Each structure stands twice: as C-alpha cells, then as structure tokens.
A = this chain, B = another copy of it.
Amino acid sequence: MALPHCTDLQFRPALTQMKPYAPGEQPPPGKFIKLNTNENPFPPPPAVVRAITEAANGPLNRYPDPLATSFRRAAAEALGLPGPEWVLAGNGSDEILTLLVRGFVGESQSLRLPTPSYILYRTLADIQGAKWEQVAFTEDWQLPAEFRQPREDLRLVLLPNPNSPSGTVVPPSEIESIADSLTCPLVVDEAYADFAEENCLDLVQRHERILVTRTLSKSYALAGVRFGFLVAQPHVIAELTKIKDSYNCDAISIAAATAAMQSQTWLADVVTSVNCTRARLETELAGLGFDVVPSHANFVWCTHPSGEHRAIYEFLKANQILVRYMDFGDWGDGLRISVGTDDQIDACLLMIQRALAKLTT
C-alpha cells in the first residue's frame, strides 16, 4: 500500500544512522537441526512447565510483582548471595544490558568491549548516541593491557565471560585486577557461566564496580521465556531499579524463573550432559582437521585450514543443519557450533565431513 505522506518524522539522528543488531536465524520450528544460537537442546526443568501452567490459572488480570521478589529470593538462595537485594530481574539479559548502558553511558560518552565478541554492545551504544571502542583479543584469546586502561569519558566496560564466539574464559583473578585498574563499572556478562568451572559472583561482594549479568536462556533452556538478571551490590540494584519499566517481568515468567532457580539438580545434570557432548564435538572436529578453541560454554568455535567456512555453513544449511557463520572482517571468520544433543551433533559432524569431502576435491 502506498504511503499517504513522504516521511518528515524526526527520529533521533543516532538511530537513523545505525545498523540494527541482527540475531541468529530463527527458522520455523522443526525444519532444521538448529545449532546457531546457543539454545539448550533439552526441554526446560519440569517444575518450570508446572509453574507456568499454575500461573496461567492465577490472577492474570492483576499486575505482577514489580520487583519479582519470589525469583530474587530463589536466585539468592541458589547462588549463595547475601540476599534478594543483590539481584535485579529483567526481561532477558538483553534488557539488563540496555539498563546498564542507559544507567552509565550518556550521549557522546563511551563504552568498551573486546573483539571478536558480542556485538550487541555496540548496538546498545549506537541507540544511546554513545561511542564504543573495541579492544582486540590476542591470538590466544587473552586481553591486552589496553583493555584495562581507564579514561575520563569511558563509562562502562563489557566482557562476556565465557566469551562468544570463542568459548574462552578470563580467570576471576584477572577480572578483579582489570576492575581495580578501571575507574568505571565492569560488566561481566556470564550468559554461559553455568557451563564453565569458575564465575565472578564472589567478586561482586568485594567490588561495587563488578556487575554480573546472567540469563536463563541458555543453561536453563528458557530462551522462549525471556528472563535474565543482574547481580550487583544493593545500592547499584536500587539505582537501576529506578529506570526499569515498573512491571518489566510478567507474572508467568517470574513463576517460571523462580521454579528454574529451584531446579539446581536438573541444572547440574544438563550441564554435565552438554559439556560431555561438547568434549566429543571438540575432539571430532579436531579429527576433521579443524583448529578448535577449547570451550567453557555450550558452543565450539572452529576454523579450518581450507578457509571454506562460508561454504561449509551453506552446505550444512542446504542439508537442514544451521550453524553460525561469523565474519569479523580483518580478524577473520569461522564457525560457531552450538552443542546440541548427541544425535544432532552426530548428524552435524557427518554433514561437515561430506562438506569437506566435496569442497576439497
């Protein structure tokens, strides 16, 4: 339909110029083996499904608890935090990251992120009309000294740990030392920390400038429910609570997330299973000639000497297997493969083998 007016709307210039963040492909369910967005291949804890069904029959005509108290209590209990006032609940950790950027970074101030890493942080800076600077990981995925340099207009530093796409971790002792060096808050994005051996929750109790974000999308198999949270000192939580929407989490997701935090045995079993499959995926990819970075997350980053990453991705996609092809410009490209079930990984490995056979003959 033709529009009645030529547009003369004045959006903020920062927005009209920006390129939006592009999430991984989400094809209709059932058609693909989906190993491209680091979802958990298992269904969520049974207690979560029961909690949702119960909440569906609750007073949905009433506003939810604006502070998601039941969830915050369950999270504090499960994670060994001093109390619920150390937790801020959000509509996915994306919302928490948005709140952090809005809370700390003004127009024309800066945030810092490593690269290759999670480029959403750049989009959040763009939306805010703020600047971003990238500091490249070294070849063996270490952070150079530049990453910890303070600067007057630098207002937030973000570090996914484990990182994506590499699956590598920076040890908590080093993160503490980075935070000591900086003068602005350091956000440790622990979306994948449940699959790793260490995390930074203890550091939060010692450092007001260390802020940890978590999500229920990956380890708890709840990407569809949108629930994430921040762990930080209570005065930080209180200040950020002022800028969130009053009712940012709905009654059903609060019930689901509370039940998820109370499912720690389920979590331990699923993490063990995913990490076991991950080890097998790493070994078999190496056997196929790939350079594989040892992963502490639920995905594996790999590159092949042939450099045919895009072609392998396309071949897999044509055969109903979706992995993530990522191109970081000068830095290079590669494939990020989410850890699926054993059957899904077997199918993926078989198809990679066929792709290589086809591409290298």
Q: A63-B223, A66-B23 are in contact. Are A103 and B15 (CB under 8 A)?
A: yes
Establish whether residues B12 and A34, one from each chain, have CB atoms under 8 Å apart when the complex forms: no
A53 to B60, CA, bound (A): 13
Establish whether residues B107 and A208, one from each chain, have CB atoms under 8 Å apart when the complex forms: no
Establish whether residues B185 and A9, one from each chain, have CB atoms under 8 Å apart when the complex forms: yes
Establish whether residues A235 and B12, one from each chain, have CB atoms under 8 Å apart when the complex forms: no
Establish whether residues A225 and B208, one from each chain, have CB atoms under 8 Å apart when the complex forms: no
Q: Which of these, B44, B98, B104, contacts A12 with CB under 8 Å? A: B104
Q: A60-B224, A104-B11 are in contact. Are A252 and B52 (CB under 8 A)?
A: yes
Where chain A touches its partner, the secondary structure class is loop
Establish whether residues B221 and A247, one from each chain, have CB atoms under 8 Å apart when the complex forms: no
CB-CB under 8 A from A18, the residues of chain B are 242
Establish whether residues B23 and A247, one from each chain, have CB atoms under 8 Å apart when the complex forms: yes
A21 to B53, CA, bound (A): 32
The reply on A117 being an interface residue by CB < 8 A is no
Establish whether residues A225 and B60, one from each chain, have CB atoms under 8 Å apart when the complex forms: yes
Q: Which of A195-242 contact B (CB under 8 A)?
A: 205-209, 217, 221-226, 233-236, 239, 241-242
> Interface digits, A185-196 against B, CB 8 Å rule (1 contact, 0 not)?
100000000000
CB-CB under 8 A from A61, the residues of chain B are 39-44, 221-224
Q: A34-B62, A103-B12, A245-B92 are in contact. Are A252 and B239 (CB under 8 A)?
A: no
CB-CB under 8 A from A59, the residues of chain B are 29, 43, 224
The reply on A56 being an interface residue by CB < 8 A is yes
A92 to B64, CA, bound (A): 12
The reply on A177 being an interface residue by CB < 8 A is no
CB distance from A209 to the nearest CB of B (A): 7
Question: Residue on B with the closest CB to A3?
Answer: B233
The reply on A102 being an interface residue by CB < 8 A is yes
Question: Residue on B with the closest CB to A206?
Answer: B4
Q: A12-B105, A39-B61, A106-B12 are in contact. Are A98 and B245 (CB under 8 A)?
A: yes
Question: Residue on B with the closest CB to A52?
Answer: B56
> Interface digits, A72-102 against B, CB 8 Å rule (1 contact, 0 not)?
0000000000110000000110110010001
The reply on A129 being an interface residue by CB < 8 A is yes
CB-CB under 8 A from A239, the residues of chain B are 9, 11, 15-16
Closest 7 CB pairs of A and B: A224-B251, A61-B221, A52-B56, A20-B242, A226-B250, A60-B224, A94-B245
Taking beta carbons and an 8 Å cutoff, which residues of A are in contact with B? 1, 3-5, 7-16, 18, 20-21, 23, 26, 29, 34, 37, 39-44, 48-49, 52-53, 55-66, 82-83, 91-92, 94-95, 98, 102-107, 120, 127, 129, 155, 184-185, 205-209, 217, 221-226, 233-236, 239, 241-243, 245-253
